[in-house]
Amino acid sequence: MAFIRSINMHILDSVDAGSFRDNVPDFRAGDTVNVHVNIIEGKNTRVQIFKGFVVGRQGDGIRETFTVRKVSFGVGVERTFPVHSPVLDKIEVVSKGDVRRAKLYYMRELRGKAAKIKEKRDPKTVK
């Protein structure tokens, strides 16, 4: 039984390998990102940019996802994207955040200045 399971997993791994993206930047929770999403409306396609900070990353491999949060017209909006989805055109890291948690769920309750994430300073560029 274990032998059959390992064969099936090997087949699934080879199928998944064709779907991996190679242009995924290095980002983590607290980073501000621009996610370029392909939107299909009838025959037309356009790119919509979803800008916000990364709440966290979940999963591993082909099933890995990340959640981005932004405040739009005073309403908090969260959207979860699969990292290797063909719907994503590209992911841009705008700034790196200085946080001490892997998941920033507590940010949902914060308002105003308390909801601000400090920007991580790069010691190489500071004189």
- Which three-class secondary structure state does DSSP give residue 104? coil
Q: Read off the pLDDT of residues 43-79 as tens digits, 9 standing for 90 and up.
A: 999 999 999 999 999 998 888 999 999 999 989 999 9
Of residues 73 and 6, more confidence is placed in 73
Q: Where is pLDDT greater, at 3 or 92?
A: 92
Task: Assign domain 21-115 to its CATH architecture.
Answer: Roll (2.30)
Q: Write b or e for each residue in 42-63: b if 16 or more Cβ atoms lie within 10 A of its Cβ, otherwise e.
A: eeeeeeeebebbbbbbeeeebe
Q: Is residue 112's pLDDT more than 80? A: yes
Tokens for 55? 């709440």
Contact 92, 36 (CB under 8 A): yes
Q: Tell me, what's the pLDDT at 125?
A: 62
Q: Which residue bears the tokens 């998941």? A: 103
